[in-house]
Copies of this chain bind each other. A is one copy, B any other.
């Protein structure tokens, strides 16, 4: 839907401090440059304070429209630290997402809170490297979200390789590992898999329905 893309453009311009070229926007939004030029004309006709300059790119003229979100100091601390914690315990995709989310929240803040938020002397430490490759994490997050079954090859504690089709129900982040909770169609029961022990994970086209007794919440109730 085009209207979503128009809002996305405004979003990106707001978040980014430097001009963005039509080429960059087009690539990021998977449309042609011509479409971006048209979108800009539409946004301008709607009164959005967007300006384009030859050789430079597009930028936002003023801080516009989005009413500030109101977070108190504790809430902002929680956000900063939370985003740091997840960034230091996940893969590049999720770490970058945390950074982007932080930037968006920053820009939705009122002026007086932005500086403090941006420069807050708070950090999170992880014993592992700051960001690293966690193969399959993004695949699992997507599968959980879309309720898509996965064909899994797993190396268990006995060093045996098993294969099965699972319903990925939920994910848990630990300090140094991720755990995928699934309903195993082979064993007809819940099973947990350490993500780092997964050898292969292939998405299937098969989605799984909601079934009482086989949901993430049902598993959590067994703990």
State the A residues within 8 Å of B (CB). Answer: 1-4, 6-8, 11, 42, 46, 65-79, 81-87, 89-90, 93-98, 100-101, 104-105, 108, 116, 120-127, 138, 141-142, 144-145, 169-175, 179, 181, 216-217, 220
- Chain B residues with CB under 8 Å of A100's CB are 75
What's the minimum C-beta distance from A149 to chain B, rounded to whole angstroms?
Answer: 15
In the bound complex, residues from chain B placing their C-beta under 8 Å from that of A73 are: 141-142, 145
Given A75-B100, A78-B94, A171-B122, A70:B7 Cβ within 8 A: yes
In the complex, what's the smallest C-beta–C-beta distance from A3 to chain B, in angstroms? 6
Contact partners of A121 in chain B: CB under 8 A? 144, 169-171, 181, 216-217
Instruction: Report A167 CB to chain B, min CB distance, Å.
Output: 11
Count of identical protomers in the assembly = 2
Q: Assuming the A-B contacts A121-B216, A123-B170, are A67 and B6 also in contact, with contact meaning beta carbons closer than 8 angstroms in the complex? A: no
Q: Would B170 and A71 count as touching, CB distance under 8 A?
A: no
**CA A94 to CA B73, docked complex, whole Å:** 10
A173: which B residues are within 8 A, CB to CB? 81, 84-85, 122-125
The smallest beta-carbon distance between A68 and chain B, in angstroms, is 7
Distance A86 CA – B74 CA, assembled complex (angstroms): 12
Cα distance, A65 to B100, chains bound together (Å): 24
**Are A79's CB and B101's CB within 8 A?**
yes
Q: Is the CB of B67 within 8 A of A7?
A: yes
Contact indicator A116/B145 (Cβ below 8 Å): yes
